[in-house]
Amino acid sequence: MSYQDLLQRLGAINDVLTSSSVLVWDSRTMMPPRGVAVRGQQIATLSTVAAEMLMADETSRLLDAADRATAHLPDDAAERRGIAQTRAGIALHRRIPSALRHRQAELRATAQAAWIEARAKSDFAGFQPYLEESVALARQLADAIGWSAAPYDALIGLPEPGETTASLRALFTRIREGIAPLLRAVSAAKAPRTDFLQADYPVALQHDFALHLARTIGYDLDRGRLDPTVHPFEISFTRDDVRITTRYPRNFLPASLFGTLHETGHALYEQGVDPAYSRGPLATDFGNLYAVGGVSFGAHESQSRLWENHVGRSRDFWALHYGALRDRFPEQLAGVDDETFHRAVNSVRPGLIRVEADELTYDFHIMLRVEIESQLLDGTLKVKDLPTAWNEAIKRDLGLDVPDDRRGVLQDIHWSTGYIGTFCTYTIGNVMAAQLMASARQQLVGLDRSLTDGDYAPLLGWLRDNVHQHGRRFSRNELLVRASGRSLDPEPYIDYLTAKYTALYGVVPT
């Protein structure tokens, strides 16, 4: 027996997981409303089948044989890393009761449907019982996985291995210290004009331009597609079938533009994974039972935030692409030049909606959610009291009054899908994106010129070489050390924000 024999077994497990992912994609894009209950059962069944296949004696037998056959290879060889990650996934799932796993998978579809309805009605009470069960199941999962300092640590470690409540607290403290003076200075400065962003933008034309943006930065539509949804997401079945979604509010153009760039960044990661890893342990997260090539959620978010913000919100980007946008919306953008548009989409204005937040206030949304999730898990906050706690935190951090549940506690899809513990990965992604971009500029001579000229291939190629191709072979910090010489470091992120916004607003941090 060889490593290839193991890959055949793991490929079959990956097939089950990707089949489940197809059902998830369908449930969020095309499924009729009455399909919800049965869909939840279907996804739960596939999740259980995958877990049972992973933990079966046959998988362990093939693992042992592959271990012996590859013992001569270095520890960081793809084969050795694949074996180690598979063993870790098996050990994790053997600690999780089958009934808990099944119920969590089953709840996702019904809870998501309840969230969509509650969000439309701005009625938290309609979603409350589903969230109460989701939180209770998350506590059971944390206990099953095991924790010492805080139950939240167990859940953070699933999407972002190595992070804890304490490590996040230290990271958040440094980011607050770094950007709070800048935010104060920018908030006191004259705001740019943004009224034209709220004009009436027909959905079909938004979709047309969204596709144009995705193709422009490298998204391969022969291996992907773009569809509308309530909350944007990317999903990968294999590197040759990576799908993205966005939303098209008729009266707020940036949502579709930057939502598409964000999800395209995720898709570029998946489309760039080494083809040799397809269906195997380096393109499958056996810990979370998810077919994904990214090594952590934070690493994935680094790619979406890099393309959305460092590229997509840059002055050079809109100097090149604004004309094509204005050609599609000549009336809505009449009298607006590319500089005015660039300033508008980079305006700093505390808002209620995370996915529409500017770069300076975005991380406050994340820190708020992490704080709330931690309290829900340790029991110091009850689900029934969540709207009040949310509204008070928004007032404290952003100075805003929350008018309704839709724009408050019901705005994110994550809790309806059971993803408690994942919000921190967005800020980790912001930090990692700045670190990678700084390194790319140091290592790629002429990168800024290529971006000015609209040639995104050099940057995409560097990311493919340093991040995408490796799939799950290296840890997040290993990737960062290989690419930048250091592990996760918030200083390049703080430097990036400071340079960008002092130039845009002509201010000095106070």
Q: What are residue 243's DSSP bridge partners?
A: 235
Pick the closest to residue 418 from 159, 163, 175, 170 (CA basis): 159
Q: For the chain, how many structural domains are there in total?
A: 1
Question: Is-catalytic flag, 339?
Answer: no
pLDDT digits (tens, 9 = 90+) for 155-181: 999 999 999 999 999 999 999 999 999
Q: Is residue 335 part of a domain?
A: no
Between 41 and 212, the more confident residue is 212
Q: Is residue 83 part of a domain?
A: yes
Q: Is residue 24 part of a domain?
A: yes
Q: What is the pLDDT of residue 418?
A: 86
Instruction: Give the pLDDT band of residue 504 (cuts 50, 70, 90).
Output: very high
Give the other-Cβ count within 10 Å of 392's Cβ. 11
Cα 245-260-504 angle, rounded to 5 deg? 155
Q: What is the pLDDT of residue 1?
A: 63
* CA gap 117, 114 in Å, rounded: 5
* CA gap 357, 334 in Å, rounded: 25
Q: Is residue 453 part of a domain?
A: no
Q: Is residue 116 part of a domain?
A: yes
Residues 16 and 43 sit within 8 Å (Cβ to Cβ): no
- Backbone φ and ψ of 377, nearest 5°: -70, -35
Residue 260 above 80 pLDDT?
yes
Q: What's the mean pLDDT in 387-399?
A: 95
Q: Is residue 470 part of a domain?
A: no
Q: What's the mean pLDDT in 334-353?
A: 96
Q: What's the mean pLDDT in 469-493?
A: 97
Q: Is residue 288 part of a domain?
A: no
* CA gap 341, 218 in Å, rounded: 23
pLDDT digits (tens, 9 = 90+) for 95-127: 999 899 889 988 988 898 899 999 999 999 999
Radius of gyration of the chain (CA): 22
Residue 384 above 70 pLDDT?
yes
pLDDT digits (tens, 9 = 90+) for 274-302: 999 999 999 999 988 888 888 999 999 99
Q: What's the mean pLDDT in 238-246?
A: 97
**Annotated catalytic residue: which of 163, 234, 263, 359?**
263
DSSP per-residue string spanning 455-487: --HHHHHHHHHHTGGGTTSS-HHHHHHHHHSSS
Q: State the residue range of the domain holding 11.
A: 3-125
Q: What is the pLDDT of residue 419?
A: 86
Q: Is residue 92 part of a domain?
A: yes
Residues 48 and 319 sit within 8 Å (Cβ to Cβ): no
Residue 230 above 90 pLDDT?
no
pTM attached to this predicted model: 0.94
In this structure, is the dihedral angle defined by the CA atoms of residues 58, 60, 63 and 68, taken in order, positive or negative? negative
Burial of 396 (0-12, 13-18, 19+ CB in 10 A): exposed
Quote the DSSP letter at residue 411.
S
